[in-house]
Structure 1
Amino acid sequence: MSTQIAPDVVEHVHETARRARVAARELALLTRAQKDSALVAVADAIDDGAADVVAANAEDLRRGRERGLAENLLDRLTLDEERVHAVADALRQVASLPDPVGEVVRGSTLANGLQIRQVRVPMGVVGMIYEARPNVTVDAAGLGLKSGNAVILRGGSAASSTNAELVRIMRAALEAQGRNPDAVNLLTEGGHDAGRALMTARGLVDLVIPRGGASLIRTVVTESTVPVIETGTGNCHVYVDASADTEMAVEVVLNSKTHRTSVCNAAESLLVHREAADRVLPRIMERLAAAGVTVHGDRAMEGYAESAGAAHVPVTDEDDDTEFLSLDLSARVVDSLEEAIAHVQEHTSGHTEAIVTADRAAARRFTAEVDAAAVMVNASTRFTDGGEFGFGAEIGISTQKLHARGPMALPELTTTKWVVEGDGQVR
Structure 2
Amino acid sequence: MSLTTMGQQAKAASTVLSQLDTQTKNQALMTMASALEEHTDEILTANAKDMTHAKQNQVRQVMLDRLLLTADRIQTMAEGLRQVQTLPDPIGEVTQGWTTPVGLQIKQVRVPLGVVGMIFEARPNVTVDAAALTLKSGNAVILRGGKEAIATNITLADVLRQALVSMALPADAIQLVHDTSHETADELMQLTDYIDVLIPRGSAKFIDLVVQKATVPVIETGAGNCHVYVAADADFKMALNIIVNAKTQRPSVCNAMEKLVVDRQIAAEFLPQVQAALQPYSVTLKGDATAKAILPDIEVAAEADWGTEYNDYIMAIKVVDDIEGAIAHINRYNTKHSEAIITNNYADSQKFTKAIDAAVVYVNASTRFTDGFEFGFGAEIGISTQKLHARGPMGLTALTSTKYIAEGNGQIRA
Please report the TM-score for the alignment, with normalisation by the length of structure 2.
Answer: 0.98
Q: Aligned partners of 2:365 and 2:230: how far apart in 1?
A: 11
Partner SS state of residue 179, structure 2 = coil
Q: CA deviation at 1:364?
A: 1.2
The 5 A counterparts of 1:16-415 are 16-189=6-179, 191-306=181-296, 312-415=298-401
What is the identity, as a one-letter code, of the residue corresponding to 1:325? N
Q: Aligned partners of 2:56 and 2:244: how far apart in 1?
A: 32
Aligned length: 413
What is the identity, as a one-letter code, of the residue corresponding to 1:83? R
Residue pair 1:208, 1:226 contacting (<8 A) in 2 also: yes
Partner SS state of residue 406, structure 2 = strand
Q: Aligned partners of 1:215 and 1:185: how far apart in 2?
A: 25
Q: CA deviation at 1:257?
A: 0.8
Residue pair 1:244, 1:276 contacting (<8 A) in 2 also: no
Q: CA deviation at 1:304?
A: 4.0
**2:406 maps to 1:420:** yes
- How well do the aligned residues superpose, as a CA RMSD in angstroms? 1.2
What is the identity, as a one-letter code, of the residue corresponding to 1:287? A
Partner SS state of residue 326, structure 1 = coil
Q: CA deviation at 1:282?
A: 2.7
Q: Aligned partners of 1:79 and 1:251: how far apart in 2?
A: 28
Residue pair 2:147, 2:180 contacting (<8 A) in 1 also: no
What is the identity, as a one-letter code, of the residue corresponding to 2:388? L
Q: Aligned partners of 1:141 and 1:199: how far apart in 2?
A: 19
What is the identity, as a one-letter code, of the residue corresponding to 1:184? I
Residue pair 2:144, 2:180 contacting (<8 A) in 1 also: no
Q: CA deviation at 1:283?
A: 2.1
Decide which moves more: 413-422 or 246-255. Answer: 246-255
Partner SS state of residue 2, structure 2 = helix
Residue pair 1:249, 1:280 contacting (<8 A) in 2 also: no
What is the identity, as a one-letter code, of the residue corresponding to 2:320? V
Q: Aligned partners of 1:179 and 1:304: how far apart in 2?
A: 63
What is the identity, as a one-letter code, of the residue corresponding to 1:364? Q
Q: Aligned partners of 2:294 and 2:64: how far apart in 1?
A: 32
Q: Aligned partners of 1:120 and 1:346: how far apart in 2?
A: 36
Residue pair 2:11, 2:114 contacting (<8 A) in 1 also: yes
Moved over 6 A (4+): none
Q: CA deviation at 1:424?
A: 1.1
Residue pair 1:237, 1:344 contacting (<8 A) in 2 also: yes
Q: Aligned partners of 1:283 and 1:107: how far apart in 2?
A: 57
In structure 2, the CA distance between the partners of 1:96 and 1:104, relative to structure 1 (3 Å rule), is same
Partner SS state of residue 298, structure 2 = strand
Unaligned runs of 5+ in 1: 1-10
Q: CA deviation at 1:303?
A: 4.2
Q: Deviations over 1:210-255 (max 9, x none)?
A: 0001222112111111111011410000000011111111111111
What is the identity, as a one-letter code, of the residue corresponding to 2:3? V
Residue pair 2:222, 2:382 contacting (<8 A) in 1 also: no
Q: Deviations over 1:127-178 (max 9, x none)?
A: 0000000000010011110000000000001000000000110111110111
Partner SS state of residue 386, structure 1 = coil
What is the identity, as a one-letter code, of the residue corresponding to 2:364? N
Unaligned runs of 5+ in 2: none
What is the identity, as a one-letter code, of the residue corresponding to 2:202? G
Q: Aligned partners of 1:174 and 1:344: how far apart in 2?
A: 46
Q: Aligned partners of 1:223 and 1:282: how far apart in 2?
A: 46
What is the identity, as a one-letter code, of the residue corresponding to 1:249? A
What is the identity, as a one-letter code, of the residue corresponding to 1:116? I
What is the identity, as a one-letter code, of the residue corresponding to 1:314? V
Q: CA deviation at 1:302?
A: 2.8
